Amino acid sequence: MVEIKRYSPVAFKASPKRTEVRDNWTVVLEYDGEGQAAFGQSSVNDNYLVDLSHITRFDVQSSNLDSITPFGIKIPQGLCESYLQDGVLINRMNRIQASVFCLPNKKNEMLTECKCDADCKCDPQNSSSYTETTEVGMCMAIIGKNVFSITEKLTSLDFMDSAKTTPFLYQAPMSHIPCQIITLSRDSAKSGIIFTASRGYGKDMVHAIMDAGEEFGLKPAGEDKFKSWLNNL
């Protein structure tokens, strides 16, 4: 009898300490040795790589994107602007397209106030404008003090560009692989990015990032570390 499970494209060389099964995903909440302290509470300036490939993501496309409000939230108007509200991260990709990430601290009750009819423009499960893209890519976050020292070994993108305000989106290569990278914070020790890339690159991407982060003590962390970081933003 085969057990039905969903597998992340990302695997770390670390032993999960606490896990939780969610929609057939085995989500690692904490790894051995990552430290139990919530993000920012530890005296050590650690840097973490977190696998978020299980979080639900959508592609939204419409010639009238302004009329669409994923989970009741407006899509940012400016190209490559992002917006984070109540755990929903929306990124404007181009004139007709946006991506939507349901981060682990997303509030599920958001749709209860929705009064839309059929083809509801705020419900990704109900509208034809949405395509679920959870399976398309891996999704990871790098958080900690040295995030941008690590990323500058992987990409020439200027995350500290003063003309941009967080959160903002880059659609560009990291470690030579096309990615969507959202800079959520560049505030000293609370710096962090979340990014997606084609699922098939998961293994090699982890290898490249861990290698780049080795000198900064980058280590794998579970979802709880990411949540505590997110809640601190």
Partner 1 sequence: MITRINQLPTLRVDPANKVVFDYKGKDYVGVKGDTVATALYHNGVRIFGRSLKYHRPRGLYSLDGECSNTCMEIDGIPNVRTENTLVKQGMKVKEQNVKGSAENDMMGFIDKLDWMMPAGFYYKTMHKPASIWPIAMKQIRKAAGLGVLSPDFEMPGKFDQIFPSADVVVIGGGPAGMNAALAAADKGLRVIIMESRPWLGGFFDYRTFDYKDAQYKNSKPLYSRARELASKVESHANIRVFKHTSVVGTYTNNLVTGFQIGGDNDKFNERYIEIRAKSVVVAAGCIERPLLFENNERPGVMQVACAHRLARTYGILAGEKAVFSVGHDLGLEAAVDLFDLGMKIICVADVREDGQNPYLMIELAKRNIPYLKGWVASEAHGSKRVNKVTMTTLDGTISRDFECDLVVASAGLTPINGHLTLAHAKLRYDSHTNFFVADTMPEKTHAAGRMLGLEDSLSIEVSGKLAGLNAALDCKLMPQSYGNTEVDALKSEIESFTAQSKELPGPARGSKFVTAPVKGRKTFICFDEDTTIKNIKQTIDMGFDVPELIKRFTSAGTGPGQGGIPGHNLPLYVAKYTAASSKCFSSSSSSSIQSLGATPKPTNVRPPLVPTLIATYSGSKHIMMKRTPMDEMQRADGGVFRKIGVWERARYFSDDFSCKKEIENVRNNVGMLDGSTLGKFRIHGPDALKVLQRVYVSDMSKVKTGRVKYSAMCNDDGCVIDDGVVVKLAENDYYFTTSTARAGATIEWLRYHTRFDGWDFYVVNLTDSMGVINLSGPNARKVLQKITSEDVSNSAFPFSGYKEFIIKDTIPVKAMRLGFVGELSYELHVPSSYMVSLWNMVKDAGKEFNIQNFGVEAQNVLRMEKCHIILGQESEQRTNLLDLGLGFLWDRTKKDAKTIGAVALRQAENDPTRFRLVGFEMENNGRAARDGALIVDDKVRGYVCTARDSFTLNKAVGMALVESHLAKVGTRIQIFEDECKGELIYGTVVPMPFYDPDGKRMKS
Site pattern 101..140 for partner 1 (x: CB under 8 A) = ---------------------------xx-x-xxxxx---
* CB-side neighbour CA atoms (13 Å) of 27: 19
Q: Single out the segment in contact with partner 1 by CB under 8 A; choices: 85-93, 105-113, 211-219, 220-228.
A: 211-219
Instruction: Work out whether 145 is an interface residue with partner 1 (CB under 8 A).
Output: no
Helix H or strand E encompassing 30 = strand 25-31
Q: x-or-dash pattern for partner 1, window 50-89, by CB under 8 A?
A: ---------x-xxx--------------------------
Q: How far apart are CA 35 and CA 144, in angstroms?
A: 14
Region near partner 1 per CB under 8 A, out of 33-41, 105-113, 119-127, 209-217? 209-217
Cα angle: 87, vertex 130, 50; to 5 degrees: 40
Given the rule CB under 8 A, which of 6-14, 74-82, 102-110, 186-194 is the region that contacts partner 1?
6-14
Residues with Cβ within 8 Å of residue 183, at least 6 apart in sequence: 159, 164, 166, 167, 168, 170, 192, 193
Distances (CA, A) of 71 to 60, 95, 102, 188: 12, 20, 10, 31
Which span (12-20, 28-36, 76-84, 198-206) binds partner 1, by CB under 8 A? 198-206
Cβ neighbours around 142 below 10 Å, total: 24
Q: Which residues make up the interface to partner 1 (CB under 8 A)?
A: 1-9, 24-25, 59, 61-63, 96-97, 128-129, 131, 133-137, 152-161, 163, 175-177, 198-205, 207-208, 211-212, 214-215
